[in-house]
Structures are given as C-alpha cells and as structure tokens.
Amino acid sequence: MALDREDVKRIAHLARLSIDESDIEGTSATLSDILQLVDQMQAVDTANVTPLAHPLDAVQRLRPDAVTETNQREAYQQIAPATEAGLYLVPKVID
C-alpha cells in the first residue's frame, strides 16, 4: 500500500506530529514499508500455531514460602509517633 503526500499529512495531523515538507517523501516511504510488512505478516497462516506465554519451554523456579523474619511489630510501634489498638495513627487528610 503506497501512501501519497496527502495521506502522510493527514496521518501526521491525526497523530499531532509536525513534519517538514522536505521530510514527507521519506516519511511516506517509511510508512509504506511498515504497512507492507504488516500485510506480509497478516498473510501468514497461523491457524495451527499454539499461542505461547514465553518462547522457551521453561518452568519458573520458586523458593519455598517460609517465614524468614520474626514479627517486630511491638518494637516498631514503640518508636512510632502515635498508635492505638495495634494501628498507626496518622493525621486526617480527607474530610
């Protein structure tokens, strides 16, 4: 699909891009090449291709879900400016 000068100007306007008059020919050729590549990719038969989440057939290594730190809530709340019933009190920001 070949684009002419008016097509490029219209696309640039829709994309809110400023293109110099001297760059329109090069931009037209580049956009035409991109559209030609899209046409080639759409022509490929993908009916029997299984979708992949990842190109490699690998399994994620997971670490064991184990507690590695002790609960230090009391120590942290002792140094907090204000706490009540195990919660941190903060200034009200929304009425």
Whole-model pTM over 0.85 = no
- Rounded Cα distance, 76 and 73, in Å: 5
pLDDT digit string, tens, across residues 21-57: 999 999 999 999 999 999 999 999 999 988 887 788 7
pLDDT digit string, tens, across residues 49-88: 888 877 887 788 898 999 999 999 999 999 999 999 999 9
Q: What is the number of H-type helices and E-type strands within the chain?
A: 3, 2
What number of residues does the chain have?
A: 95
